[in-house]
Amino acid sequence: MNYWLIKSEPSTFGIEDLYHSPGQTEPWDGVRNYQARNMMRDDMKLGDQVFFYHSNCEEPGIVGIVEVSREAYPDLTAFDPSDLHHDPKSDPNNPRWVMVDIKLVRLLKRTITLQELKAKPELAELALVRRGNRLSVMPVAPEQWAFILGLENANTTDY
DNA sequence: GCCAACGTTGGC
DNA sequence: GCCAACGTTGGC
């Protein structure tokens, strides 16, 4: 079992949108970064647990947990000229980009904010809080996963 | 293969 | 809206 964190801008697609999706499941399409793609293609397995992070918004932070409900398959939006993430260089016979399906596990009881994550020495190695990080899909170590989950019930004035 | 220019991300 | 950090592009 692997752990991950995926970012999304709530103005584009937030945890509320996933909550209201049919089957609370959506394809995680539009990833156009090779590092992120490689992780999805090679390492994201059925049942892997994933933090859902809201970026570029009023209160950036982790807002929910999802799981991988289908492993990597070709991202067909790359072939659609009308799609925002259209990539004319992706060959339909050898698709360049992949996506996985994610299914909502649950919403967190509160947003675990970026500010809070940054303040924890235990999470110094978390890719999310490292300087200049821009990956939309990143691994989370099992200890980091457990630690972050523990924060959900912690007193928010502790930090 | 170098690297400057450019576009994007995302916190603030 | 600003801007730092980073990835990608393309001329050479």
Fold for domain A3-149?
ph1033 like fold (3.10.590)
Can you give the distance from the CA of residue A158 to the C1' of nucleotide C7 in angstroms? 37
Which tens digits make up the pLDDT trace of A110-135?
999 999 999 999 999 999 998 888 89
Q: What is the pLDDT of residue A20?
A: 96
Strand B closer than 7 Å to the CB of A130?
no
E strand or H helix at A111 = strand A98-113
Nucleotide closest in space to A32 (CA vs C1')? C7
Which tens digits make up the pLDDT trace of A84-112?
888 877 877 788 899 999 999 999 999 99
Nucleotide closest in space to A132 (CA vs C1')? C5
pLDDT at A158 over 80: no
Of the candidate ranges A12-16, A93-97, A144-148, the one whose mean pLDDT is the lowest: A93-97
Residue with tokens 């156009």: A32
Chain centroid to CA A3: how far? Answer: 10
Q: Could you give the C-alpha distances from A127 to A23, A42, A50, A91, in angstroms and in order?
A: 30, 19, 14, 31
